[in-house]
Structure 1
């Protein structure tokens, strides 16, 4: 069984660095484990909704706007709730967020299945997982400070949102939608790298049980949101290219 370096033969600084390395690795593993469980939970809820005519009818009949507003609201308030309340509250918010996304994605999955394109969902997930892994690894390992690009990315997200609304209500162009979709994928790929570095920098060796748990859940929440956004727009790109 592999073991860490023997601290008996280390200087004080070396022992501290080794402790930070092991602690940071365990902390990031918790972040990714939470995120992966959230993605799996979202997929399960989506499949339940996609195969239930009653649930599909309820969501498409008006509940979709409740889910949409709920996701936006949680996206805004969740960070404060997760870091200021208990671990139980942080977990509850995370699973509620993942569940609402699953319900919102259910009708999309049902549409692709009805068109005989169920495999496109699997392809989009594979592409998303590969892209996410690459950019998140970059964010974790790079020595470059990605902090300065945070403000630019937020402005880019706002610009893309405006472009989506303009295309939806005025232009209604498939070509413009493809350009916007590619822009979203590029921006949220960069966002994933930025968030990974930020989550890594949040780690402190002095953090104890509850504090570190809340940080891990919060980090998973951030990365989960970027993963789902990448998946939706990669799926949209594949759908446009098919047409």
Structure 2
């Protein structure tokens, strides 16, 4: 996994859990960045999925007998855009040992832009109503899980380590199923994905809270942590949203 999960702080075992204006400001900065990232992703997904000159650069489509144009595959550019976030995250683990605030922010917005562009598939595969409904469900679940991670006194570190291993398993299973195209396996992957990223949302929120106390008011370090924390939560949200769409989304 990339540094954005476990490399931007060494959190203490305990922290002052009292209400703290600085902590609220720090967390608000993270959530604002996540919200803006989701808006940017939605705009890019609409552009790549709906605007023909851009869509045709990214995706292969065809008009089916029922008259609906649907996704049939990726172009070379589309495949590069779809897989580059994972490559960049893995690469950043080696190349960004001590990132500056601008480098951490640049990484965040680069990942947001690439994921948003690749999510034109959502526009091409699912109905608008199911996309909106699933987004609202994901947002409600994300908010509740993040609140739990923020308020719980239980240490989630052990659970988080287990869930991160689960992400690796998900990636492997998903790659295998690209070739197998097994419907039952895809359903199991989707259910597991929802549960894993739901747990990671609570874990990452608690870890961000510990990060704030560990940094001791260092503004430069907190700026870096804000970007990495937003990246963690953004990826959790996007994955929950996509897995829920696979389970319940209405296809075009």
Is 1:67–2:67 an aligned residue pair?
A: no
User: CA RMSD for the aligned pairs?
Assistant: 2.3
> What 5-or-longer segments of structure 2 have no aligned partner?
1-15, 60-74
Contact 1:46 1:103 in 2 (8 A): yes
Contact 1:38 1:98 in 2 (8 A): yes
> What 5-or-longer segments of structure 1 have no aligned partner?
1-16
C-alpha distance in structure 2 between counterparts of 1:19 and 1:100, whole Å? 38
Contact 2:49 2:55 in 1 (8 A): yes
The 1:33/1:18 distance shift into structure 2, 3 A limit, reads same
- More RCO (CA 8 Å, sep 6+): 2
The 1:207/1:56 distance shift into structure 2, 3 A limit, reads same
Q: Where does 1:87-126 land on structure 2 (aligned, <5 Å)?
A: 87-112=101-126, 117-126=127-136
Q: Where does 1:1-150 land on structure 2 (aligned, <5 Å)?
A: 21-60=20-59, 61-78=75-92, 84-112=98-126, 117-150=127-160
Contact 1:31 1:217 in 2 (8 A): yes
Offset, 1:209: 2.6
The 1:40/1:28 distance shift into structure 2, 3 A limit, reads same
Is 1:201–2:210 an aligned residue pair?
A: yes
Is 1:219–2:229 an aligned residue pair?
A: yes
Asked which structure has the greater CA Rg, the reply is 1
The aligned length equals 221
* TM-score (normalised: structure 1): 0.83
Is 1:166–2:165 an aligned residue pair?
A: no
C-alpha distance in structure 2 between counterparts of 1:197 and 1:83, whole Å? 23
Deviates more, 1:157-166 or 1:213-222: 157-166
Is 1:184–2:193 an aligned residue pair?
A: yes
The 1:19/1:124 distance shift into structure 2, 3 A limit, reads closer
C-alpha distance in structure 2 between counterparts of 1:19 and 1:163, whole Å? 42
**Structure with the bigger percentage of strand:** 2
Offset, 1:138: 0.7
Contact 2:47 2:55 in 1 (8 A): no
- Partner deviation per Cα, 1:71-117 (whole Å, 9 max, x = no partner): 002322446767723222222211111110111001321332xxxx2
The 1:211/1:145 distance shift into structure 2, 3 A limit, reads same
Offset, 1:67: 1.3
